[in-house]
Amino acid sequence: MVEENKFILAIDLGTSGPKVALLSTQGGLIGSEFEETPILLPPGGGAEQAPEDWWNAIQIAGQRLLAKNLVPNDDIVAVAITAQWSGTVAVDQDGNALGNAIIWMDSRGAPYVNKLVDGPLKVEGYGLAKLLNWIRLTGGIPGKSGKDPTAHILYLKYERPDIYQRAYKFLEPVDYIGLRLTGNFAASFNSITLNWLTDNRNIENVTYHEGLIKLSTIDRAKLPDLKPANAILGTLRPDIARAWGLREDVKVLMGSPDVHSAAIGSGAVRDFEPHLYIGTSGWLTCHVPFKKTDLFHNLGALPSAIPGRYLLTNEQECAGGCLQYLRNNIIFPEDELSTGVKPSNAYQLFDQIAERTPAGSDKLIFTPWLYGERTPVDDHLVRGGFNNQSLNTTRAHMVRAVFEGVAYNSRWLLKYVELFNKRPVEAVNMVGGGAKSNIWCQIHADVLNRPIRQVKDPIEANVRGAALLASASLGYMKYDEIGTRVKISKTYTPNPDHRNIYDELFKEFVAIYEANRKIHARLNRQH
Rounded CA-CA distance 455/420 in Å is 25
Q: What is the pLDDT of residue 4?
A: 61
Cβ atoms of 399 and 362 closer than 8 Å:
no
* 495-510: pLDDT as tens digits: 999 999 999 999 999 9
pTM for the predicted model, two decimal places: 0.88
Rounded CA-CA distance 17/35 in Å is 6
How many Cα atoms sit within 13 Å of 167 on the Cβ side? 27
Q: What is the pLDDT of residue 191?
A: 96
Over residues 41-47, mean pLDDT:
94
Share above pLDDT 90 across residues of the chain, in percent, rounded to a whole number: 88
Task: Say whether pLDDT at 1 is over 50.
Answer: no
* 338-362: pLDDT as tens digits: 887 889 899 999 999 999 999 999 9
* 174-219: pLDDT as tens digits: 999 999 999 999 999 999 999 999 999 998 899 999 999 999 999 9
Amino acid at 32: S
Mean pLDDT of the chain: 95
* 6-28: pLDDT as tens digits: 999 999 999 999 999 999 999 99
Q: Which long-range contacts (CB under 8 A, 24 or more apart) does 31-39 make?
A: 31/65, 31/68, 31/70, 32/65, 32/460, 32/463, 33/61, 33/62, 33/64, 33/65, 34/61, 35/60, 35/61, 35/64, 39/15, 39/103, 39/105
Rounded CA-CA distance 88/320 in Å is 23
Q: What is the pLDDT of residue 251?
A: 97
Lowest mean pLDDT among 168-172, 233-237, 342-346, 395-399: 342-346
Rounded CA-CA distance 228/235 in Å is 16
Amino acid at 113: V
Q: What is the pLDDT of residue 2?
A: 44
Task: Say whether pLDDT at 485 is over 50.
Answer: yes
Q: What is the pLDDT of residue 526?
A: 65
Over residues 416-424, mean pLDDT:
97
At residue 195, φ and ψ (nearest 5 deg) are: -75, -20
Cβ atoms of 169 and 144 closer than 8 Å:
no
Measured CA angle at 102 (ends 101, 103), to 5 deg: 105
Over residues 259-288, mean pLDDT:
94
Over residues 412-434, mean pLDDT:
96
Rounded CA-CA distance 450/429 in Å is 10
Task: Say whether pLDDT at 308 is over 90.
Answer: no
As beta bridge partners, residue 252 has 79, 234
Cβ atoms of 502 and 446 closer than 8 Å:
yes
